[in-house]
Copies of this chain bind each other. A is one copy, B any other.
Amino acid sequence: MANRIFGQIPNFPEGSSFASRAELSRAGVHRPTMAGISGAGEEGADSIVLSGGYEDDRDEGDEIIYTGHGGRDPNSGKQVADQQFTAGNKALALDKARGLPVRVIRGNMLDSKYAPKEEYRYDGLYYVDDFWSEIGRSGHRVWRYRLVKEKGKPVPVEDSLVASPSDRRAERVETTIQRLVRDTKQSRQIKSLYDYTCQFCGIRLSTSVGGYAEGAHIRPLGRPHDGPDSSDNLLCSCPNHHVLFDMGAISVNDDLTLIGMAGKLTLHAKHKVNSDHLRYHRVHYADTPTATTNTA
């Protein structure tokens, strides 16, 4: 599609209503008149419509677990085949890699307390916080996405108590969240144990206040994964390998050999890693689940 627009569509602020899919399409807020995902694998997804199609979708308002498309019987709506990592499914994953914002539209057919009473409503910009695959209730593989509403953004304020140090006046720059790294008490302990040295590659980023590393939860925190914040579910990682791990480009076998890169995970004598969590990561995140043979 030419001119795919990521972000707000001029003249259609958050809260705008639309009588039909055709009207949504004409406005450019969600172009396809049938598909739930507007996107292409090489461009990203610019909008989605939530209208109750998938039983596993979950809508908490500011946080949505959304199921990818494909593999359903058009008549029964039942999942009859695996979903492929192509088209809209790949497009939504690309949004995470690229930090692209997604317009979210809710329809009145949606089974959620956040659904509008009638018509369709544009509910603002979300970012794709996570994506993974799982075997759905049908026994077929589906792709799932966690979308989180943009709200961590400090609101730009027009007037200043202090003169700007620059002649250039503050401009409002539209930003979206590409990546949000969370920290926990346990992750601080693991990072300290390794002196901020990456367990994947051995690098230690050095700054004026000491080392910098991130705690990578193997089985992610939060629903639906519900990974624990415990040391056996944590790795000390440099930001590069944290990104690769979270996106499933690298993973870890039970014998600690690495998938997606050469070598073996460094493990401190005082650190035990739970192999159930490693398996969870391989199954749900690793690029090619069939290739993650358990070698232990």
Contact = CB atoms under 8 A, between A and B. Distances in A.
Nearest to A111: B161
A229 interface: yes
Interface string A213-243: 0100000011111101100000000111011
Contact of A183 (B60, B98, B164, B166): B98
Interface of A, helix, strand, loop or mixed by DSSP: loop
Interface in A185-203: 185, 187-188, 191, 203
A182 B177 contact: yes
Given A183-B176, A221-B173, A248 B62 contact: no
Number of copies: 2
Interface residues of A, number: 82
Contacts of A226: 164-166, 168-171
A1 interface: no
Interface of A: 6-7, 41-42, 56, 58, 60, 62-63, 65, 85, 90, 93-94, 96-100, 134, 148, 151-157, 160-162, 164-166, 168-171, 173-185, 187-188, 191, 203, 205-212, 214, 221-226, 228-229, 238-240, 242-244, 247-249, 287
A63 B154 contact: yes
Contact of A94 (B165, B177, B209, B242): B209
Given A157-B60, A223-B164, A240-B240, A184 B173 contact: yes
B171 A85 contact: no
22 contacts: A60-B154, A93-B208, A97-B212, A100-B183, A152-B180, A157-B223, A160-B223, A160-B224, A165-B226, A171-B226, A171-B228, A173-B184, A174-B184, A175-B182, A179-B180, A179-B214, A181-B181, A207-B247, A208-B248, A209-B247, A239-B242, A240-B240
